[in-house]
């Protein structure tokens, strides 16, 4: 088993939730954590400085897209993704498996790997487990992923079993090919919605041995209750002393539920993509920016939010920018949505440490405000306050404010 770089700081007595610290070559990550997605080497419309300001601790890059353009050798020549993008904190790259398998008729799967045509110019390419690791070693992220097959839905039991077994063989090949010991290579658990296959996948992936484990193949079109059922079954089976990563999920409610199941890491394009489409997360509910009722609404996007967007701009102005398709709209709305997600995770960490997580699980707004209170204290002190410091009085007040917040939602 690889040396553990993950430390569990505190566990929740009512759920599987835990606070942890994951050490990487570019810094320590506080978990549970949300990772903004920087598919092509950038979180769309955000600079590295923007991301640091809103509290991002780690971002994600996409191996498939960076391989196609600008090319992993270009990034390697620049000194790796960190120097190429001027991001100084931890990074994670996925293996490119999900994107390759999403190409449908443009790709052919075999035991050796996957042949596919570029979505850019139609040129032919081949990625094997070894090739995926070679690319990720060159990109130089702190955490990299095995090359896996993400089976489509619906798939029958026979296909899911064959796919899972091939992913296990590919996992072994990835581990053998991995050369850069400054990078942590995570395994990925597959098996569709079949619990028996998920169990086998967890056990055999753990036998191969990785410093961290991801749950793949969820949020690919299944109904939410089925996703939650599969997640609740799978996450507790993962090795307890390793970080658990739920790939490509999801809504704020998904993140809270995932944490309650023992998940430590999340990524999703939802906050950034939704922002560009004018759909905003607030403590009062979702705001659709195109709605005509905001034309003369000169109040903040979220009156409870302390992000740059909410402290400086009105709904009316943001709506105007969005309707005009101004770049500034994409940037300001993206910063708000990401700040919302990161505040949620900060609030979750604090609630776990204080023993209030199970009580606040159903109140996303309360968790976000708890996180923003933590952010204010950290800003005022100039230091990072230890997660879990006592704030039971604040948590109680936030819980009591729930009914008031529900009534205010009708206003938006």
- Cα separation, 132 vs 56, in Å, equals 26
390 has catalytic annotation: no
Catalytic residue among 12, 50, 264, 267: 267
- Cα separation, 260 vs 332, in Å, equals 31
Whether a cis peptide bond, with omega within 30° of 0, leads into 127 is no
End-to-end CA gap in the chain: 52
94 has catalytic annotation: yes
Catalytic residue among 12, 50, 94, 148: 94
Q: Give the residue numbers marked as catalytic.
A: 94, 267
């Amino acid at each position: 088993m690889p040396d553990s770089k993950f430390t569990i700081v505190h566990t929740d007595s009512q759920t599987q939730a835990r606070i942890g610290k994951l050490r990487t070559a570019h810094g320590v990550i506080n978990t549970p954590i949300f990772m903004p997605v920087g598919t092509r080497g950038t979180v769309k419309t955000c600079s590295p400085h923007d991301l640091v300001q809103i509290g991002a601790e780690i971002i994600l890059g996409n191996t498939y897209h960076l391989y196609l353009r600008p090319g992993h050798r270009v990034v390697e020549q620049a000194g790796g993704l960190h120097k190429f993008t001027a991001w100084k904190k931890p990074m994670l790259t996925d293996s490119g498996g999900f994107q390759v398998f999403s190409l449908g008729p443009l790709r052919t799967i075999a035991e050796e790997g996957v042949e596919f045509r570029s979505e850019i110019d139609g040129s032919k390419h081949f990625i094997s487990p070894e090739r995926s690791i070679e690319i990720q070693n060159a990109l130089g992220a702190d955490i990299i992923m095995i090359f896996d097959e993400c089976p489509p839905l619906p798939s029958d039991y026979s296909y899911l079993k064959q796919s899972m077994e091939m992913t296990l063989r590919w996992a072994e090949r990835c581990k053998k090919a991995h050369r850069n010991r400054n990078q942590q290579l995570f395994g990925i658990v597959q098996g569709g919605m079949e619990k028996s296959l998920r169990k086998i996948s967890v056990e055999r992936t753990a036998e191969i041995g990785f410093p961290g484990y991801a749950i793949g193949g969820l949020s690919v079109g299944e109904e939410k209750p089925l996703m939650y059922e599969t997640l609740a079954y799978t996450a507790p089976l993962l090795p307890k002393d390793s970080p658990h990563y739920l790939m490509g999920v999801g809504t704020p409610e998904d993140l809270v539920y995932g944490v309650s199941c023992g998940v430590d890491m999340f990524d999703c394009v939802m906050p950034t993509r939704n922002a560009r489409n004018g759909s905003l997360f607030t403590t009062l509910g979702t705001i659709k920016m195109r709605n005509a009722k905001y034309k003369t609404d000169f109040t903040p996007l979220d009156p409870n939010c302390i992000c740059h967007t909410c402290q400086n701009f009105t709904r009316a102005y943001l709506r105007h920018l969005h309707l005009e398709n101004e770049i500034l709209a994409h940037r300001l709305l993206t910063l708000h949505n990401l700040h919302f997600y990161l505040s949620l995770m900060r609030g979750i960490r604090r609630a776990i440490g204080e023993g209030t997580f199970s009580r606040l699980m159903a109140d996303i707004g309360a968790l976000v405000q708890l996180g923003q209170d933590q952010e204010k204290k950290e800003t005022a002190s100039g230091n990072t306050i230890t997660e879990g410091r006592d704030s039971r009085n604040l948590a109680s007040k936030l819980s009591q404010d729930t009914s008031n917040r529900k009534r205010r939602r009708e206003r938006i």
